Chains A and B, each alone.
Chain A
Amino acid sequence: EVQLVESGGGLVPPGGSLRLSCAAFGFTFSDHYMDWVRQAPGKGLEWVGRTRNRANGYTTEYAASVKGRFTVSRDDSKNSLYLQMNSLKTEDTAVYFCVRESMGSYVWFDPWGQGTLVTVSS
Chain B
Amino acid sequence: DIQMTQSPSSLSASVGDRVTITCRASQSISNYLNWYQQKPGKVPKVLIYAASSLQSGVPSRFSGSGSGTDFTLTINGLQPEDFATYYCQQSYTTHLTFGGGTKVEIK
Contacts and interface: CB of A to CB of B under 8 A. Distances in A.
Interface of A: 35, 44-47, 50, 61, 63-64, 97, 102, 106-115
Interface of B: 1, 32, 34, 36, 38, 43-46, 49-50, 53, 55, 87, 89, 91, 94-101
A61 B43 contact: no
A35 B89 CA distance: 14
Contacts of A47: 95-98
Given A64-B1, A106-B91, A108-B91, A46 B43 contact: no
Given A50-B94, A61-B95, A44 B87 contact: yes
Contacts, number: 57
Nearest to B87: A45
The interface centre, meaning the residue of A64, A108, A110, A115 with most chain B CB atoms within 10 A of its CB, is A108
Given A44-B100, A64-B1, A113-B43, A108 B94 contact: no
A4 B76 CA distance: 32
17 contacts: A44-B98, A47-B98, A61-B95, A97-B43, A106-B50, A106-B53, A106-B91, A107-B32, A107-B91, A108-B34, A108-B49, A108-B89, A109-B36, A109-B89, A110-B55, A114-B43, A115-B43
Contacts of B45: 110, 112
A113 B43 CA distance: 8
A63 B89 contact: no
Nearest to A64: B1
Given A106-B50, A108-B89, A115-B43, A45 B101 contact: yes
Nearest to B31: A106
